[in-house]
Amino acid sequence: MNTFQEAVSEKVWDKSYRYRSQDKIIDETIEDTWRRVAQAVAKAEQSKNAAYWEEEFYRMLSDFRFIPGDRILAGAGTKHAVTLFDCFVMPIAEDSLLGIFEAIKEAALTLQQGGSVGYDFSSLRPRGYPVVNVGTFASGPVSFMRIWDAMCGTMASTGTRRGTMTGILRCDHPDIEEFIAAKSDPHELRHFNLSVLVSDNFMQCVKENREWELIFPAQEEDLTDAVLHHWSHSAEPVACRVIRRVNARDLWDKIIQSAFRYAEPGILFEDTVNRQNNLWYREWISTTNPYGEFPLPAYGACHVGVINLTQFINHAFESNASIDWDGIQKTVYTAMRFLDNVIDVSHYPLKMQKQEVYSTRRMGLGITGLADAFVMLGIRYGSAPSFDQAKKIMQCISDTAWQASISLAQERGVFAGFHAKKYLQGNFVQHLSEEVRQAIEKNGIRNSHHLAIGPAKKISLLANNVSNGIEPIRGADYECTLLGRNGESVKHTVTDYAMRLWRKKNSSNQLPPAWVDVFQLTPQEHLQMQSIVQFFVDNAVAKTIYLPTDFPVEELSKLYTEAHALGLKNIKIGLEPQWLF
């Protein structure tokens, strides 16, 4: 059983995951937390099996082999009325004052229970657009995003989990330029991560330096000169009016310049997301959760857990270092069952969220500690061997996760929205092995989506500071800032997990032979790793492409274009790693 080797890891547990009832401490130790979570999640089992699976879940958790997401650790088995889902995507169902404030109310209820939310604001009329029935003019999406932002800040001040939201706007919305520039003011939209929803057509227009139409769905009373265009959350074209025209490359350059200066907005490649969506036959996706690893439909939600790769390395730093493949496969099987159970034991802030979750049973099993695992194996992150090893790891986890979901379908039934013939026609599903596809055809599948790679920052720090997600190592020793229970900021010096292990085995001050950190990698090496991992992931990969200080802005356009060509679903850059928990 692992214990805390980093003092800050215990502080993370105490502040974020230790169960308290008002001021009374319920979880005396982290073992109490593991037991609480394991027992709560095992309640989804038949009573005759519950005790067995509680022990299986407990063993998996107590060794840090599998780490559930924030909301599961904080909420499972408590008396708090909170959700166990980290991520939600919400609609703005009606472009009216009532519709907008109903959406804000739904966001507040979701944030109150601990969920983060994502919105596509493209449904809101652009600034200056006539609101015919009241004889006024619209103030535009960005103006209303400020109300969401203020609400999120207010919810956080009441003791709710520090809220995060994503705001998305289409590249053909007339207010796209205002949206792109919104974060140039450091006081604006501080609770939002921003991304532009980009289409294949726009990328082609940028390449050919063509004109680009900014459009908006036509009001019923004014369909004059309306043209059919694709629009958010609809696979079918809708009648739109062309508001104005801009040069596509000029608009693209504004995105690039803003990202280069402020690290926002990111980009979500809409057509790639929907081409690769397992549920292509029943939904069109235009939004993600705040970090981008979950493209979701309206009222869609997802929960997470990660396989901690550092716990599956045999003979670390030795010439015979290897991966415990059997251990990974067993843990993936147990983790998939754990995450499927979470769906049934969770609270849901809204009835529509529960309905959507039960219809798809989406979940997001991921990994963390990849970079540390590479160092322990003697492999340099960003090298050809690291890409090969990442493929092997992800192939193993992907194959096992899909087989586990098939087994769960045999035992418990398929997800409600499953249509065998159409599901098997999906682009991503067709890339699976023949064995897996035949098993799906015969037995169905329990969950529509299985893998997602998120940042996993806080839970990686909890697990004695393993490198988070698929990100490179931050450094041997560095500072992070932890927000205390009363909102105060405290700086801590932390040591990377692999480095601490290395120092225990070696008395010298030399770095491990394969050591490389985030500042030593090129943006192309970051991008290549994201691309390799994305191939095996049916949700998405959240990764930050960190830029060196001397990186020329002209190269950023090439980087974003390459991301699209590689089939990535999103791209986000970083100017400096942020470590605030």
Of the pLDDT bands very low, low, confident and very high (cuts 50, 70, 90), residue 134 is: confident
Task: Find the helix or strand (DSSP H, E) in which 439 lies.
Answer: helix 434-443
> What three-state secondary structure class fits 19?
coil
Ramachandran sector of residue 13 (left: φ over 0; alpha: ψ -120 to 50; beta: rest): alpha
Rounded mean pLDDT, 512-518: 95
Of 449, 398, 401, residue with least CA distance to 423: 449
14-39 pLDDT, tens digit per residue, is 999 999 988 899 999 999 999 999 99
Contact predicate 305/68, CB 8 Å = yes
Distances in Å between the Cα of 62 and the Cα atoms of 31, 239, 501, 547 are 7, 56, 19, 37
* The pLDDT of residue 220 is above 80: no
Query: In one letter, which amino acid is 54?
Result: E
Model pLDDT, residue 160 = 55
Contact 508, 550 (CB under 8 A): no
Give the CA-trace dihedral at 275, 414, 332, 496, to 10 degrees.
Answer: 50
Q: Is the pLDDT of residue 320 over 60?
A: yes
| Tokens 């008002």, located at residue | 22
Q: Would you say the C-alpha torsion 493, 497, 501, 506 has a positive or negative sign?
A: negative
Of the CA atoms within 13 Å of residue 73, those in its CB half-sphere come to 26
Cα→Cα distances 523→384, 508, 529, 530, 551, Å: 15, 31, 10, 11, 9
Residue 383, number of CB atoms within 10 A of its CB? 14
Dump pLDDT digits (tens) for 168-194: 999 999 999 999 999 999 999 999 999
Given this model, what pLDDT does residue 218 score?
A: 86
Mean pLDDT of 47-69: 96
How confident is the model over 244-264, as a mean pLDDT?
96
Residues 30 and 62: their CA atoms lie apart, in Å, by 8
Which pLDDT score, from 0 to 100, does residue 162 have? Answer: 65
Q: What mean pLDDT is predicted for residues 394-423?
A: 98
| Span 227-249, average pLDDT | 91
> 296 to each of 199, 280, 566, how far by Cα in Å?
17, 12, 21
In this prediction, residue 156 has a pLDDT band, given cuts at 50, 70 and 90, of confident
Give residues with Cβ within 8 angstroms of 213, minimum separation 6. Answer: 172, 229, 242, 245
Note the pLDDT of residue 198.
98
Q: Considering the chain, what percentage of its residues have pLDDT values greater than 70?
A: 97
What percentage of the chain reaches a pLDDT higher than 90?
Answer: 85
Mean pLDDT across the stretch 102-110?
Answer: 96
pLDDT of residue 513: 93
Q: What single letter denotes the amino acid at residue 360?
A: T
pLDDT classification of 159: cutoffs 50, 70, 90: low
Concatenated DSSP letters for 389-408?
HHHHHHHHHHHHHHHHHHHH
- Worst-scoring range by mean pLDDT, 144-153, 369-378, 425-434, 481-490? 481-490
Q: What's the whole-number mean pLDDT along residues 524-551?
A: 96
Mean pLDDT of 205-213: 98
Q: Is the pLDDT of residue 558 over 80?
A: yes
List the end-to-end C-alpha distance of the chain, in Å, as a whole number: 25
In this structure, the chain runs to a length of 581
pLDDT band at 310 (very low <50, low <70, confident <90, very high): very high
Kindly state the tokens that stand for 309. Answer: 């790769």
Tell me the three-class secondary structure of 559-574, residue by residue: HHHHHHHCCCCEEEEE
CA distances from 4 to 160, 462, 499 (A): 26, 8, 15
More confident residue, 4 or 306: 306
Q: Say what the pLDDT of residue 161 is.
A: 63
Residue 580, pLDDT above cutoff 70: no
Name the residue among 297, 307, 259, 253 with its Cα closest to residue 277. 297
pLDDT attached to residue 4? 87
Among 335, 381, 333, CA closest to 519: 381
Q: Which of 122-131, 323-332, 527-536 has the lowest mean pLDDT?
A: 122-131
For residue 125, CA distances in Å to 128, 213, 307, 470, 548 come to 8, 16, 43, 39, 39
Return the closest-CA partner of residue 86 out of 472, 536, 455, 483: 455
Tell me whether strands 287-288 and 295-296 are parallel, antiparallel or unpaired: antiparallel
* Band of pLDDT at residue 387, cut at 50, 70 and 90: very high
Eight-state DSSP code of residue 190: T
Question: In the predicted model, what is the mean pLDDT of the chain?
Answer: 94
The answer to whether residue 579 scores a pLDDT higher than 70 is no
Q: Is 1 exposed, middle or buried (0-12, 13-18, 19+ CB in 10 A)?
A: exposed
Q: Which two tokens stand for residue 231?
A: 């629009």
Higher pLDDT, 66 or 5: 66
Helix (H) / strand (E) containing 307 = strand 304-308
Output Rg (C-alpha) for the chain, integer angstroms.
Answer: 23
- As given in the structure block, the two tokens for residue 550 are 């001397």
3-class SS of residue 520: helix
- Confidence at residue 157, expressed as pLDDT on a 0 to 100 scale: 65
- Lowest-confidence region among 100-109, 218-227, 275-284: 218-227
